[in-house]
Amino acid sequence: FSPGLLVVAGSFAAFRLLNRELERLVPPPPSARRNRWKWRNIWTWGPEALPSTHSPFPLRFCLHPGMSEDLVGTHPPGAHSLVAVSVGYFLEDFLDMLCNQKLHQSWELLFHHSVVIICFGVAVLLHQYVGFALVALLVEINSIFLHLRQILLMANLVHTTCYRLNSIINLGTYVVFRIATLAWMTRWLFLNRDNVPPATYALGTVGMAIMTPMNIILFYRLLRSDFFK
């Protein structure tokens, strides 16, 4: 039994409760009332991102220089709990989509969440590869602008300077914190293949093989929708 499972369970329960109360806390605008579930779902993500982005990631490497060389057993204090909180959020979001959205509309995100839950779950249970999972959480920096884009779309604010500025920042951070991060993680796995157990290496390789094409496809969709439509 891992104490991290308690953090996962507590995180799941907290996000579930937040999801139910969000419509009262952040009432949807008239243009979003036809899809109240999606409005709640987008805003539920916010608290999950805060602990992932509240402190500069390079500072974590400076304070724990060993992590840049050892992403298996070395990680800063609180990193294990941070990954466990993220697992709780992804579990809640997976269940929320499964119950409220048709499968053909959400299968890509459900697939994405399944990969993240399995990979992060291994880190939480084994207390290893937490540093690797922490690198993966860099994508949450881009998710700020990705979710803001959805909020602006639902609020019918597409033809505004705020939306245009967010689109530019969204694509920039997408390249830096999603595509480049996944490329760095893939490179790390390849260089350290002799130091990683075969089962874990296979899991990481499959995860990267799934996530990289998905993120490239989403980047193309964003580019086409916001700039070439």
Please list the pLDDT of the chain residue by residue as tens digits (229 residues): 578 899 999 999 999 998 888 878 888 889 888 888 889 888 887 665 555 544 445 445 544 666 666 778 777 778 888 899 999 999 999 999 999 888 888 888 899 899 999 999 999 998 888 888 888 888 888 988 999 999 999 999 999 999 999 999 999 999 999 999 999 999 988 988 888 889 889 998 998 999 899 999 999 999 999 988 6
Domain count, the chain: 1
Name the nearest CA neighbour of 150 among 169, 166, 171, 173: 166
Compute the distance between CA of residue 196 and CA of residue 218 in angstroms, rounded to an integer.
Answer: 30
What pLDDT is attached to residue 55? 46
What pLDDT is attached to residue 49? 57
Compute the distance between CA of residue 133 and CA of residue 75 in angstroms, rounded to an integer.
Answer: 10
DSSP string, 119-168: HHHHHHHHT-SHHHHHHHTTHHHHHHHHHHHHHHHHTT-TTSHHHHHHHH
What pLDDT is attached to residue 153? 93
pTM of the model: 0.86
CB neighbours (10 Å) of residue 11?
A: 22
Compute the distance between CA of residue 197 and CA of residue 137 in angstroms, rounded to an integer.
Answer: 23
Name the nearest CA neighbour of 90 among 113, 112, 111: 113
Compute the distance between CA of residue 132 and CA of residue 128 in angstroms, rounded to an integer.
Answer: 9
Burial (Cβ within 10 Å: 0-12, 13-18, ≥19) of residue 224: exposed
The residue segments making up the domain with residue 135 are: 3-227
Strand segments, DSSP code E, in 31-147 are none
